[in-house]
Amino acid sequence: MQKIILAILLGLSGTAFSAEETFPKDCAACHNISGPAAQTLKEAFGKKGPDLFYAGNKYRQEWLAAWLQKPKRIRPAGMYYGNHIKPGAKSDEIDASTLAEHVALPKADATAIAAWLMKLKPHDDLIAKEKIEPGTITKQMGEMNFDKFQGCMACHLIEPEYGGVSGPELYTAARRLQPEYMASYIRNPQAWEPKSWMPNKQVSDGGIQKLVRYLELLGKDSENAK
Ligand code: HEC
Ligand code: HEC
């Protein structure tokens, strides 16, 4: 009954469909929206898109709504880089021809789906364990820590085309992600995704604060704005 009323309301406001009904059908072909996370390597390798079933614990709503209207690549080499790498002159290169563009949505649909996704919060317990302390870090110190001390640079870009490509780019992370999520994922990637390729680096509480501060700084850098 509620769904029918919603459909009528959305119909009157000119929206093509109701997020509740369309999301699972169209998007669930590639995204896990009901959990649990992949429990085996086979399942993890087979993922066609990132898990969205904890979207409300992870994303910034305004970013979600904007990105869904104008998606731009986040994982330079796709979901599993092994499927999108070809031998190059000096080293392996990304084979962009194997990467598909993401579907873009009209504004009303993007806004409705973003609001719907933000209600998915099965991991409030993990988020509640994180507290972001105020503080500052210079870009230079932050980068040294990220690269040399913690070894994060092997898998993540900290500028367009600077860093590793097997993980999501991180110079946009602060615009996409809630700070508590970043802290929690760095603390224990496997708590979110048991088969994550990101190693648990046993970063100390202080080290996590420094990394999150650095990612927040990168997110504010206008040179990286896109
Ligand atoms: C053909 C498979 C496919 C379909 C269908 C699809 N997606 Fe995606 N989606 C992806 C892939 C792959 C990525 C990762 C993109 C990247 O990293 O550049 C992604 C990324 C996303 C992200 C960003 C998440 C993140 O952490 O990077 C959101 C949000 C999203 N999709 C929502 C949707 C919605 C909503 C729909 C339905 C309208 C949809 N997707 C349909 C494959 C798909
Ligand atoms: C061996 C490669 C590897 C290393 C080393 C690594 N990561 Fe990751 N990281 C990944 C992958 C793969 C993901 C998640 C993949 C996905 O969701 O598609 C990830 C996810 C993340 C996320 C969440 C991003 C998002 O968009 O969901 C953050 C934040 C992050 N890593 C920070 C770090 C930090 C800080 C370090 C160093 C302490 C680090 N990573 C080391 C591979 C790595």
- Residue 19: pLDDT above 70? no
CB of 185 sitting under 6 A from ligand 2: yes
CA of 172 to the centre of ligand 2 (A): 13
Q: What is the pLDDT of residue 157?
A: 95
For 34-59, how does the pLDDT look when each residue is reduced to its tens digit (9 = 90+)? 999 999 999 999 999 999 999 999 99
What residue spans define the domains of the chain? 2-117, 124-221
Could you tell me the CA-to-CA distances from 18 to 35, 166, 212 in Å, in that order? 22, 35, 36
Q: What is the pLDDT of residue 128?
A: 98
CA of 57 to the centre of ligand 1 (A): 17
CB of 103 sitting under 6 A from ligand 1: yes
- Residue 226: pLDDT above 80? no
Q: What is the mean pLDDT of residues 84-112?
A: 87
Q: What is the mean pLDDT of residues 176-181?
A: 98
164 Cβ contact partners less than 8 Å away, ≥ 6 residues apart: 153, 154, 155, 156, 157
- Which of 155, 165, 192 has most ligand 2 atoms within 8 Å of its beta carbon, as the pocket-test mutant? 155
CB of 193 sitting under 6 A from ligand 1: no
Supply 22's token pair: 């369309």
CA of 188 to the centre of ligand 1 (A): 23
Q: What is the pLDDT of residue 100?
A: 87
* Helix, strand, coil share of the chain (percent; to 5): 45, 5, 45
Q: What is the pLDDT of residue 60?
A: 98
Q: What is the pLDDT of residue 21?
A: 59
Q: What is the pLDDT of residue 6?
A: 44
Instruction: Give the residue, by CA position, lying nearest to ligand 2 atom 14.
Output: 167
Q: One fold for both 2-117 and 124-221?
A: yes
What's the rounded Cα separation, in Å, for the pair 21 and 189? Answer: 31
CB of 102 sitting under 6 A from ligand 1: yes
pTM beyond 0.75, yes or no: yes
CA of 28 to the centre of ligand 1 (A): 9
For 179-221, how does the pLDDT look when each residue is reduced to its tens digit (9 = 90+)? 999 999 999 999 999 999 999 999 999 999 999 999 999 998 7
Q: What is the pLDDT of residue 141?
A: 97
For 21-32, how does the pLDDT look when each residue is reduced to its tens digit (9 = 90+)? 556 578 999 999
- Which of 21, 26, 31, 113 has most ligand 1 atoms within 8 Å of its beta carbon, as the pocket-test mutant? 31
CATH of 2-117, one of 1.10.10, 1.20.120, 1.10.760, 3.40.50: 1.10.760
Amino acid at 128: A
84 Cβ contact partners less than 8 Å away, ≥ 6 residues apart: 77, 78, 94, 95, 98, 99
CATH number of 124-221: 1.10.760.10
Confidence of residue 8 (pLDDT cuts 50, 70, 90): very low
Amino acid at 154: A
Q: What is the pLDDT of residue 174?
A: 97
